Amino acid sequence: MRDAVTSLIKNYDVAGRYFDRNAIDSLKSYFESGTARVQAAVAVNANAASIVKQAGSQLFDELPELIRPGGNAYTTRRYAACLRDMDYYLRYATYALVAGSMDVLDERVLQGLRETYNSLGVPIGPTVRGIQIMKDIVKEQVATAGVTDTSFVDEPFDHITREFSEIDI
């Protein structure tokens, strides 16, 4: 798994270049946000079960057809699988948040998941909505933990939803 620093070094190394002003500014920004990133991870870790439960409840309130007979979250097994997947996205989004790089999402989550969701007929729209709900809840939790600028929280969640939104089922 690469983080923002190793990804930057790799890109400059492949190009055979020394760091320029953009690279230095990128590194400076990453290190300045380090404490906030760790605080965000602590807030998520302390509240992960609650975040997933709250996001699931809100998703099913917005889209009750998912839990009705014939819906993709109908039956206890499917409902639990939905919440399990939401927890999975939350965990990996937190890794990406701390790393300051979306590589972990691409390598460990999104590559195989596209094919799996396609083959199972999992609806992408509600999945995307659930991830966006989690993002909003996480931003609230991070703000409650004392982080004033929570904009960096958007990146991993938006990356996942952007990648899912490009999937044609």
What CATH code is assigned to 38-165?
1.10.490.20
Q: In a structure prediction context, what are the per-residue pLDDT tens digits for the chain, which is 169 residues long?
A: 789 999 999 999 999 999 999 999 999 999 999 999 999 999 999 999 999 999 999 999 999 999 999 999 999 999 999 999 999 999 999 999 999 999 999 988 998 787 788 788 888 899 999 999 999 999 999 999 999 999 999 999 999 999 988 755 4
Cα(103)–Cα(57) distance, rounded to whole angstroms? 30
Distance CA(42)–CA(66), nearest Å, equals 31
State the pLDDT at residue 142.
97
User: Is pTM, for the whole model, over 0.85?
Assistant: yes
CB of 72 closer than 8 Å to CB of 124: no
- The DSSP letter of residue 68 is S
pLDDT of residue 116: 84
What residue spans define the domains of the chain? 1-32, 38-165
Q: Can you give the pLDDT at residue 27? A: 95
The residue to which tokens 């999402």 are assigned: 105
Rounded distance between C-alpha atoms, residue 105 and residue 121, angstroms: 21
